[in-house]
Copies of this chain bind each other. A is one copy, B any other.
Amino acid sequence: MKKLNVGLIGYGFMGRTHSNAFRQVNKFFSLGYEPVLKAVCARDEAKVKAFAENWGYETYETDWRKLIARPDIDLIDIATPNNSHAEIAIAAAKAGKMILCEKPLSMDGKQGAQMVKAIEKAGVPNMVWYNYRRVPAVTMAKQLIDEGRLGRIFHYRAKFLQDWTISKDLPQGGAGLWRLDVKAAGSGVTGDLLAHCIDTALWLNGSIANVSAMTETFVKERKHNLTGKIEKVGIDDACAFLARFNNGSLATFESTRYARGHKALYTFEINGEHASIAWDLHDLHRLQYFDHRDESKLRGWRSIHVTDGDQPYMKNWWVPGLQIGYEHTFIHQVADFLAGFDSQTPAHPSFRDALETQYVCDAVLKSAQTGKWEKVPKAK
């Protein structure tokens, strides 16, 4: 088994999910490559050292440029706030490293295009962590669509609802709260949550032609953790948009952090001529499926418990009926990335795939400002 030396940058929520994925993947998947936790990098030495010890990283760095410069690192994994993705990725590409990057790819499409240019020039393997593609039920949805079971698609609808920022007392900025700081995040729910919805949608239903959007910032000012002052909130607290896909289907997308009662309700539903599919992150191991070709009086939405050996990824885990959870999506993504080396089939989504999502986000945010329908530029 070939070793692949990983250098992780960032040790927050995503640093943990990635580290776990690297550690676990070879225990459950038979692969030709094995990630080695070589180094983790972050500015706070005490914390990064503790993180390295906990997860078993052999070394640590406090300057990401040093990490990239290290010859013993094969792969740079970017798990930092959005505003640092581009600089790190471009430097890593120049250094010839493989690159994994947290989503969203970049602060905007322009920046993302620069990253894609750099990475494609370098010709290095690359992938963006849109992990929900690897929920077994979501992967199965993709299979069903690719098998043509749904027929012509009429409708796509997705939403991602949370409720964790309703309190006016919640500050913005800094560790754990950078997602509320527009300088670090680029946008609010659009880049954080809708980007997931859009990535899945592009994968399942093809490209989006144009959009009409609205955004809202319900709490206008919050204390900033870094300055200690009350500052204007620059992110979108909520965003909804209408879209037309190039396959002729109509879509609605919505995301908010002000939907009381929902922690992480990412749902999508696709209505086709013959069949429909629905899925919900809160019960991620289930797929809802309705097939009009079923015998008429027995038609109904099937609640499929996706835990069987003939369903995506599940033969690698336990036994039928026993569910896996959120963290496994990252393990699957690493497994596919490593398997891609053997099969010469690069794992998706690539930086270029993720750039397409970025362009949709740009069009959405622009439409929210102009009040008009905006076209989505092509990323491919």
CB pair A250–B214 under 8 Å, yes or no, is: yes
Cβ distance A375 to chain B, nearest Cβ, rounded Å: 12
Q: Are B301 and A261 within 8 A (Cβ)?
A: yes
Other-chain contact of A271, B259, B291, B307, B308 (Cβ < 8 Å) = B259
List B contacts of A254 (CB < 8 A).
157, 252
Of the candidate stretches A93-101, A238-246, A337-345, A349-357, the one touching chain B is: A238-246
Q: Which of A75-83, A225-233, A323-331 contacts B (4 or more CB under 8 A)?
A: A323-331
A333 interface contact, C-beta 8 A: no
Contact A305 B310 (CB under 8 A): no
A300 and B289 form a contact (CB under 8 A):
yes
Residue in B260, B282, B371 whose CB lies within 8 Å of A373: B371
A214-B244, A258-B271 known; A322-B318 Cβ under 8 A? no
**B-contact 0/1 string along A261-288, CB 8 Å cutoff:** 1111100000111111000011111110
Count of interface residues, chain A, beta-carbon cutoff 8 Å: 90
- How often does this chain occur in the complex, in copies? 4
Give Cα A13 to B252, complex, Å.
Answer: 31
A164 interface residue per 8 A CB criterion: yes
State which of B55, B166, B291, B373 has its C-beta within 8 Å of the C-beta of A273.
Answer: B166
Residue of B54, B302, B305, B323 touching A325 (CB-CB under 8 A): B323
Is there a chain B Cβ closer than 8 Å to A297's Cβ? yes
Query: Smallest distance from the beta carbon of A244 to chain B beta carbons, Å?
Result: 7
Asked if A260 and B292 make an inter-chain contact with CB atoms under 8 angstroms apart, the answer reads yes
**Quick one: closest B residue to A264, CB to CB?**
B321
Minimum CB distance partner of A166 in chain B: B273
B276 touches A261 (CB 8 A): yes
- Tell me whether B301 and A303 are in contact (CB under 8 A): yes
Across the interface, do A240 and B260 meet the contact criterion of CB distance under 8 Å?
no
Q: Are B27 and A20 in contact (CB-based, < 8 A)?
A: yes
Do B238 and A321 touch (CB < 8 A)?
Answer: no
Contact between chains at B290 and A299 (CB < 8 Å): no
A358, CB-defined interface residue at 8 Å: no
| Residue pair A155, B264 in contact (C-beta under 8 Å) | no
User: A320–B264 contact, CB under 8 A?
Assistant: yes
Interface membership of A178, Cβ < 8 A: no
- A-B contact list, 29 entries, CB within 8 Å: A16-B318, A140-B297, A154-B166, A154-B238, A154-B256, A155-B256, A213-B242, A214-B242, A240-B250, A258-B271, A260-B273, A261-B299, A263-B320, A264-B320, A265-B321, A282-B305, A287-B300, A296-B310, A297-B310, A297-B311, A298-B304, A299-B302, A300-B303, A301-B302, A303-B303, A323-B326, A324-B327, A325-B328, A371-B372
